[in-house]
Structure 1
Amino acid sequence: MDDNKLLPKLSQNLLEILDDEEYYDITIEVGNDPYVKIFRAHMVILSYRSPYLRRILSANKKKNDDTLTHIKLPNISPEIFQIILRYIYGGRLFFEELDTFDVIKVLSAASELYLQELITYLQFFLIENKTDWMEQNFDFVHQTSFENDAFSELQKYCTDLISKEPDKIFKSQNFSSIPEKLLVSIVQNDNLQMDEIQVWEHVIKWGTAQNPELPSDVENYSDDNFNTLKNTLRQCIPFVRFYNLTSKEFLDRVLPYDQILPKELYKDLLKTFLSLSDPNSKPINKSKPRITKGSNFGVVRSAKRKAKSGRRIIDKFDSVYGSRVEEFYD
């Protein structure tokens, strides 16, 4: 007999307990003014399901008085906490009215409450089913994942995407608005699978997008225009591997921007590339090469491999609790 078949009924009964208005022994104030909501709950369930809440409730218990326990969670919105609370009681997720931004809010709330099972589940859910959305909102996903050590799977996803399919970031509609810190992390990546001339062109594209007043043609740049672009790209240029360019690429695509390069670097680059007899040749042993695009990798394949274990987590989660979230898949 499959004992797991008995669990959906238990899940439903626990959710009914959550809705019961008689036996609760704790109130939880969630959100900030003017968006505050009071939830009723049961200490024993919260303590066993959330290590974070267990610590808070243990501290309240030591007061040993007869007043109803009341705690505050100002960092979580009432809408998100409602979803979290139903998961805590019934092991079920209700995504019907959520967009992907809200799923990440649930993930952040799960991290605050130390709900490790839910943290793992949601990361694999996003990797398996929301890759298009995450590519389009990469800056947000990257920033969120690296602000929290618990989001290790999302961090791996972001690192793989930067390394193995940088075109998906460079050619996205939001590329020009990514922060400087993210651009620098991409450009300095040793495993960036992109030709160096493309790296340079995307750096220039990003820099000019930050300064829409610049002329569209570099031939029309004034000294002030070059200084503006130089200051914008000051943190990025040191990580461009100019010595991985061919002589022709340097002369045709970099030389027009000579004024934004540090003087000593420019002098050495000019001397190096002018000494090459073949315009399609590159300097030897002058710079560490990047992994070429010919490497047989891909972030989708990599993410799917990592997500196989995640698929098992999702399947087990759903089969145990009888709760499917397929309607939320694209």
Structure 2
Amino acid sequence: MSSRFWADLSNDYEKLFETEIGYDVIIYAGEESDIKEIHAHSNILCIRSKYFRSAFSNDWAEKKDGKFILRKPNISSHLFNIILRFLYCGNIELKNLEGIDILKLLIAVDELNIQPLISHIQEFLIENHNECLHKNPIGILDTIYQHETFTELWKFCLEKICRKPQIFFNSDKFINLKAPLLELLLKRDDLNLSEIEIWESLLKCCFAQQKIVNNPAKWNEDDIIKL
């Protein structure tokens, strides 16, 4: 007969994380104005993530007084603690985080190569925080575009933009859209924009990026060449 006591095991590992008994990793998380020191155990981190196996290898590792030193200024201490709690006991709570913080958490777990969370966080964002796309559609889409593993979020955002393109094309930041992203959108068959609207958007973007006045009467030869 085989018995399983997963809850007890998870609770014990959570206690280990909270008490820091026997820690051999010091993580400096956050930017200079808000750096926090976090303690962890290398064996647990290495078992749970390929990133940490590489980070604590002889080629990468920084050690001081027998402890591994890891510096992550691009991940806040709050988000790092959420990630570590998951690595120790398999628990994660997202409902108290704002949409933008959940996106930052997703970027962090992608960097740390924590595969189970990449899919889970994407699903949570889509189901509970898809309104954050309205606040900064250009910036969010650009962020997602830079991460190949964000496939579910990428598909969701593109489909939503194609259904309601005004959210995207009427944004003040549309002129900052990178050319590859714009090309991807314009090639989609389900983009709900007329050819005239597409053309007007392209001109708006072109004028802004080339710093040309939207008045042909004021164009010089250089402006025409740019266009």
TM-score range, shorter chain: 0.7 to 0.9
Please report the TM-score for the alignment, with normalisation by the length of structure 1. 0.56
Shift of the alpha carbon at 1:147?
1.0
Residues 40, 198 of structure 1: alpha-carbon distance in 2 compared, 3 angstrom cutoff: same
Post-superposition CA distance 1:185-228 (Å, at most 9, x none): 366324223221232344456667889x96xxx8xx5621x56x
Shift of the alpha carbon at 1:20?
1.4
Does residue 11 in structure 1 map to residue 5 in structure 2? no
Q: Which has the higher contact order (CA 8 A, sep 6+)?
A: 1
Instruction: Look up the SS of the partner of 2:178 in the other structure.
Output: helix
Larger radius of gyration: 1
Does residue 198 in structure 1 map to residue 197 in structure 2? yes
Please report the TM-score for the alignment, with normalisation by the length of structure 2. 0.78
Once residues 63 and 76 of structure 1 are traced to their aligned partners in structure 2, the CA distance between those partners, rounded to angstroms, is 18
Aligned residues: 220
Is 1:29–1:36's contact at 8 Å kept on the other side of the alignment?
Answer: yes
| Alignment correspondent of 1:223 | 217
Q: What 5-or-longer segments of structure 1 have no aligned partner?
A: 235-330
Shift of the alpha carbon at 1:97?
4.5
RMSD across aligned positions (CA): 3.6
Once residues 205 and 61 of structure 2 are traced to their aligned partners in structure 1, the CA distance between those partners, rounded to angstroms, is 57
Task: Kindly report which structure 2 residues correspond to 1:125-204, keeping only aligned pairs within 5 A, or say none.
Answer: 125-171=124-170, 175-178=171-174, 179-181=176-178, 184-185=182-183, 188-191=186-189, 192-203=191-202
Once residues 93 and 137 of structure 1 are traced to their aligned partners in structure 2, the CA distance between those partners, rounded to angstroms, is 26
Does residue 26 in structure 1 map to residue 20 in structure 2? no
Does residue 116 in structure 1 map to residue 112 in structure 2? no
Residues 166, 96 of structure 1: alpha-carbon distance in 2 compared, 3 angstrom cutoff: closer
Residues 49, 74 of structure 1: alpha-carbon distance in 2 compared, 3 angstrom cutoff: same
Percent of pairs with identical residues:
30
| Alignment correspondent of 1:106 | 105
